[in-house]
Amino acid sequence: MPIFLSSQRLVAVLSGIALAAMVGCKPSPASQPLPTSKTDQLHPVVINDPPRLSSIESGATDPRGAPTRVACQTCHALRQSNPLPASMEGLTTFHQHMVFKHGDSTCTSCHVEGRHDRIHLANGKQLPLTEALSLCAQCHGPQYRDYQHGSHGGMNGYWDRQRGPRTRNHCVDCHDPHAPQIPAVMPAAPPRDRFLHAGAEKTPHE
């Protein structure tokens, strides 16, 4: 988790703004998290600004073996972007290592031709790449609704925002936007309960 916390940005601030702005199913203008409290007394909810929105895996590792990332600007500031291809086979020079497994989406479903730092909604409205949350929400309504109600996506900090702030994961903290299914992981070590081991010391009570 600390990796997420390293580059926070105040995207959504007080609940009145961010949390109530959408709430898919409920058109009511604002929902106060606590009825007894005033909004200005609540600590903010901060959504992570994940590295995926401003950099890309370089394919190389650092001396300790950890994968490294390169800022989009490193290349895109210097050279004109190639036209966005219709499919991944059309990538001939860059980004070929990336895995694309996101339904029938193509590059231009989300990306803006010629603008590496912008995305567009279905209605054509352009947004900075960092506001990808609203882009995801267009198709993944139930997940976004759950996210707004704190039941999708991890968080850190305080359950009681009268006493402290909260940090929320961004969609792409966990999901690779180009292949959103979360890959299989190795679990943490299992318990070593005495009763789980055949060779464990036996006592009359077990």
Partner 1 sequence: MSETPKRRVALKVLGATLGAGAFARTMAPLASWSKDLSMGEFLQKHYSEMTPEEMQGVLRRLESDTKREYGRDVNIRDIRPTEGVEFGYALNLSVCIGCRKCAEACHNENNHDRSTNNSYIRVLEMEQGSFDMEKGNTTYTHAVPAPGKYYMPVQCQQCNNPPCVNVCPVQATWKEPDGIVVVDYNWCIGCRYCEAACPYHARRFNWTKPEIPAEEINPDQAYLSNRIRPQGVMEKCTFCLHRTREGRLPACLEACPTGARVFGNLLDPNSEIRWVLANKRVFVLKEDLGTEPRFFYFFDE
The one among 124, 185, 198, 202 contacting partner 1 by CB under 8 A: 185
By CB under 8 A, what part of segment 33-52 binds partner 1? 33-35
Q: Quick check: 66 binds partner 1 (CB under 8 A)?
A: no
> Cα dist. 27→30, 31, 35 in Å?
9, 10, 18
**Per-residue CA distances from 202 to 190, 191, 192, 193, 198 (Å):** 20, 18, 14, 12, 9
Q: Which of 1, 4, 24 is nearest to 134 (CA)?
A: 24
Binding status of residue 100 toward partner 1 by CB under 8 A: no
Residues 88-124 as b/e (b if ≥16 CB within 10 A, e otherwise) read eeebeeeeeeeeeebeeebbeebbbeeeeeebbeeee
CB of 30 to partner 1, least distance (A): 11
Say whether residue 26 binds partner 1 (CB under 8 A).
Answer: no
Q: Which of 60, 78, 188, 198 binds partner 1 (CB under 8 A)?
A: 188
Binding part of the chain for partner 1, among 68-76, 99-107, 108-116, 190-198 by CB under 8 A, reads 190-198
**x/- binding map, residues 122-151, to partner 1, per CB under 8 A?**
--------------------x---x--xxx
**Residue 154 binds partner 1 (CB under 8 A):** yes
For Cα atoms 55, 56, 61, give the angle at the middle one, nearest 5 degrees. Answer: 115
Q: Which residues bind partner 1 (CB under 8 A)?
A: 1, 31-35, 142, 146, 149-160, 162-164, 166, 169, 174, 182, 184-194, 196, 205
